Amino acid sequence: MAGYADAEGKEPINEQAVANIYGAMRAEINQVYSKITELEMEASEHSLVINAIKPLDPSRRCFRMIGGVLVERTIKEVLPAVERNKEGLVEVIARLNEALEKKKKEMADFEAKFKIKIRKSDEVSDDSARKEGAAQGVLVGPAGANE
């Protein structure tokens, strides 16, 4: 974020610099989205495990992966650890959601400051179709390359 603060402190020199900063902001938001999704999937898996082992006998043995090593424990020992891990994941997801909202607001402010408008891909194709006129066709290959 310091990079964006520096860029806002001294105005970007040209449109390319603004576009680069904006692209970096979008990439960062996408990374946060993907991390949130990944952690939500992991929390969901933890819930499945908790629901599967909770009704079982606490003295029953089960296996748990710890740091790449499969260890044998009892359900009584494993269940609290899995529940703690899930709670930790939920807390991290909440913090990431807060950070995401903050980044979205920062990006919206940046868009407003530099009057950035995003065109959808179908709008771009409509613009190019208008420029070309009514001609529509399929490009098969270079002219004179018929064999």
Task: Give tens-digit pLDDT for 79-101.
Answer: 999 999 999 999 999 999 999 99
Q: What average pLDDT does the segment 29-50 reach?
A: 98
Strands 61-66 and 69-74: antiparallel
**Does residue 109 sit within a domain?**
yes
**Does residue 142 sit within a domain?**
no
**Does residue 140 sit within a domain?**
no
Q: How confident is the model at residue 15 (pLDDT cuts 50, 70, 90)?
A: confident
The residues, any chain, with a CB within 8 Å of residue 11's CB and separated by 6 or more, are: none
Answer for the pair 57, 75: CB distance below 8 angstroms, yes or no. Answer: yes
Tell me the CA distances in angstroms from 133 to 26, 76, 126, one per residue in order: 34, 73, 11
Q: What average pLDDT does the segment 46-61 reach?
A: 97
> Alpha-carbon distance 95 to 2, whole Å?
19
Residue range(s) defining the domain that contains residue 65: 15-114
**Does residue 5 sit within a domain?**
no
What residues are paired with 61 via a beta bridge?
Answer: 74
Query: Residues 106-144: pLDDT tens digits?
Result: 999 999 998 888 888 765 555 555 555 555 555 555 555
**Does residue 62 sit within a domain?**
yes
Q: How many domains does the chain have?
A: 1
CATH number at residue 86: 1.10.287.370
Q: What is the value of pTM for the model shown?
A: 0.74
User: Token pair for residue 130?
Assistant: 């208008």
Handedness of CA 6, 7, 11, 13 (dihedral sign): positive
DSSP, collapsed to helix, strand or coil, labels residue 123 as helix
The C-alpha R_g of the chain, in whole angstroms, comes to: 26
Amino acid at 141: G
